RNA sequence: GGGCCCUUCGUCUAUCGGUUAGGACAUCAGAUUUUCAAUCUGGGAAGACGGGUUCGACUCCCGUAGGGCCUACCA
């Protein structure tokens, strides 16, 4: 149940300062699931008030990332910086009502105070908080506007995941809400935007838990209704440390390039830090029906590549082959491979027989390589070594035997191969290796009958012929 | 330093005072087998530590240890 009568509105609010972290993706997923569960709206806000670090390219990365994941916001994104005037207005309102004050501390003074405050184990204090306003005389001097936070009592963040978290107000410092250059800061902008956008549930990273207290007092000063807060734990690397580049990947785009399917990512990410009994593999409909932020686990979760691979494999198995073929071609294209007109057809024949073993699209592409190779195939040294007088002769007889096969499909071919083995008085092991070698060039072909079926009669027999004529 | 959060198999989790502590991934063993994989069967594997409360604690309370977040005119 939502906590108020207002229709649920959630949002993901990333800052465009680089890549889109997988943790951000999971937070977006949780927001999306929660909104969908209650038939509410899921919004996107780009927090670009840091003019130094925000870039347009990074905005695109976020848009692309959410799009790829299939988490489509219900409204066009709100750009925070574009709303700076509104934020400034609120800052001035706070100033007028005495809930904020001008602070003229210099950078050096602030640094000194910070040091003392730390030594004394208390929050930073500005001497300007209690100074009488001097009728605008020195407003031209460089200064910031600080929020005048309460010094007494406590602020309770009633977090949906962590439960009630109590902060002593005296521990909270008077945060800057308007910089000396007139640009609003994050903590002010978030409150104003979340209020204006009608956000009912702020579901965000654990790292904002303390901010929730600071922001709560601003909501109160403005007389605005507080949203419900839910702080989800961060995602850590396999070693328990904060997820970073050295763990293999941390950006959504990297997972896409590695060949993970978006639906697999959604399933995995949903399962990471949240669960519904013993259910492991489930689709969006089920996730939406089952999801509740209150069930999100309190502890940070580690990224587990094995499980991600396993889930991805599951979704590759049930994925449409044409879609997989397109994805394989895309992957191959990124590697600089020149496409051929019949690639699509060859892939559609090969994918069904190899997809079960593919953990990623990149692996799937590798497994399909044998089907895409063009005649005459170049045999690796290892493959060529499998062809001697005896095996070549046998392959020749096999080719002739297969040539008489009318039904060119895997089950029939398997029977034919077995019959051939019997007629030769040997086991499949005697010619399986050489056959695989000439069919694939590098011995990477899958199941023999399947490979023959995927390649088709002409291509299969042609490859055998090519190899035999060359080894002579 | 201060404030706050967290702690069940290697990993993700179930349990929400009474269970042989369950499942999944990984792992190990066996089966199958034309390489690899896949598949099937089976096994091992956990309540950080120390105190309470209780007839009874993984579940509640306190402490310790360890990990994390915040402590910016970043978000």
* SS3 state at A133: coil
ipTM of the complex: 0.94
pLDDT at res. A137: 58
Catalytic residue among A162, A170, A242, A245: A245
pLDDT at res. A1: 45
Which positions of strand B lie within 7 Å of protein CB atoms? 1-8, 10-14, 22-26, 33-39, 67-75
Q: Give catalytic status of residue A298 as yes or no.
A: no
Q: Could you give the CA distance from residue A207 to residue A15 in angstroms, rounded to a whole number? A: 14
DSSP state of A18: S
Chain A window 375-404, residues with Cβ within 7 A of nucleic strand B: none
Chain A window 38-67, residues with Cβ within 7 A of nucleic strand B: 47, 49-50, 53
Q: Could you give the CA distance from residue A112 to residue A124 in angstroms, rounded to a whole number? A: 10
Max CA distance (Å), chain A: 107
Closest CA to A42 of A157, A203, A160, A191: A203
* SS3 state at A411: helix
Per-residue pLDDT of chain A (472 residues; tens, 9 = 90+): 444 578 999 999 999 988 899 999 999 999 999 999 999 999 999 999 888 889 999 999 999 999 999 999 999 999 999 999 999 999 999 999 999 999 999 999 999 999 999 988 889 999 999 886 655 556 678 899 999 999 999 999 999 999 999 999 999 999 999 999 999 999 999 999 999 999 999 999 999 999 999 999 999 999 999 999 999 998 988 777 777 777 777 899 999 999 999 999 999 999 999 999 999 999 999 999 999 999 999 999 999 999 999 999 999 999 999 999 999 999 999 999 999 999 999 999 999 999 999 999 999 999 999 999 998 888 888 888 888 888 899 999 999 999 988 889 888 899 899 889 888 888 888 888 899 999 998 888 788 999 999 999 999 999 999 988 875 5
Evaluate if the CB of A434 falls below 7 Å from strand B. Answer: no
Chain A window 302-361, residues with Cβ within 7 A of nucleic strand B: 302, 304, 306-307, 309-310, 356-357
Q: Could you give the CA distance from residue A254 to residue A265 in angstroms, rounded to a whole number? A: 12
Phi, psi of A345 (to 5 degrees): -65, -45
pLDDT at res. A341: 94
The position carrying tokens 């593999």 is A281
Strands (E), A347-465: none
Identify nearest nucleotide to residue A301 by CA to C1′ distance.
B12
């Amino acid at each position: 149940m939502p906590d108020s009568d207002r229709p649920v509105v959630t949002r993901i609010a990333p800052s465009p300062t680089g890549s889109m972290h997988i943790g951000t993706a999971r937070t977006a997923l949780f927001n999306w699931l929660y909104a969908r569960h209650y038939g509410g709206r899921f919004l996107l806000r780009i927090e670009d008030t840091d003019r130094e670090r925000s870039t347009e390219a990074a905005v695109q990365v976020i848009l692309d990332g959410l799009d790829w994941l299939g988490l489509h916001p219900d409204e066009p994104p709100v750009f925070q910086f574009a709303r700076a005037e509104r934020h400034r207005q609120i800052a001035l309102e706070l100033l007028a009502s005495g809930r904020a004050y001008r602070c003229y501390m210099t950078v050096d003074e602030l640094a000194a105070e910070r040091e003392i405050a730390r030594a004394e184990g208390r929050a930073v204090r500005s001497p300007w908080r209690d100074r009488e306003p001097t009728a605008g005389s020195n407003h031209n001097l460089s200064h910031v506007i600080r929020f005048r936070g309460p010094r007494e009592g406590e602020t309770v963040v009633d977090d949906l995941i962590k439960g009630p978290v109590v902060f002593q107000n005296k521990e909270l410092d008077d945060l800057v809400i308007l910089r000396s250059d007139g640009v609003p800061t994050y903590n002010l902008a978030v409150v104003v935007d979340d209020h204006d956008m009608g956000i009912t549930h702020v579901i965000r990273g654990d790292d904002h838990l303390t901010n929730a207290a600071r922001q709560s007092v601003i909501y109160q000063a403005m007389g605005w209704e507080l949203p419900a807060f839910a702080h989800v734990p961060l995602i850590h690397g396999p070693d328990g440390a904060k997820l970073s580049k050295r763990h293999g990947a941390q950006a959504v785009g990297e997972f896409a390039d590695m060949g993970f399917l978006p639906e697999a990512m959604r399933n995995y990410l949903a399962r990471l830090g949240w669960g519904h009994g013993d259910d492991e593999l489930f689709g969006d409909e089920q996730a939406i029906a089952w999801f509740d932020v209150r069930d999100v686990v309190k502890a940070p979760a580690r990224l587990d590549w094995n499980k991600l691979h396993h889930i991805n494999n599951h979704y590759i198995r049930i994925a449409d082959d044409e879609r997989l073929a397109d994805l394989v071609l895309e992957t191959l294209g990124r590697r600089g491979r020149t496409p051929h007109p019949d690639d699509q057809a060859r892939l559609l024949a090969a994918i069904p027989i190899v997809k079960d073993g593919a953990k990623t699209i990149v692996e799937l592409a590798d497994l399909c390589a044998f089907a895409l190779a063009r005649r005459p195939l170049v045999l690796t040294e290892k493959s060529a070594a499998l062809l001697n007088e005896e095996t070549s002769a046998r392959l020749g007889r096999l080719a002739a035997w297969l040539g008489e096969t009318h039904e060119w499909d895997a089950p029939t071919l398997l029977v034919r191969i077995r019959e051939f083995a019997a007629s030769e008085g040997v086991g499949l092991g005697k010619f399986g290796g050489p056959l695989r070698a000439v069919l694939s060039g590098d011995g990477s072909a899958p199941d023999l009958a399947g490979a023959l079926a995927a390649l088709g009669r002409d291509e299969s027999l042609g490859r055998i012929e090519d190899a035999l004529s060359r080894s002579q």
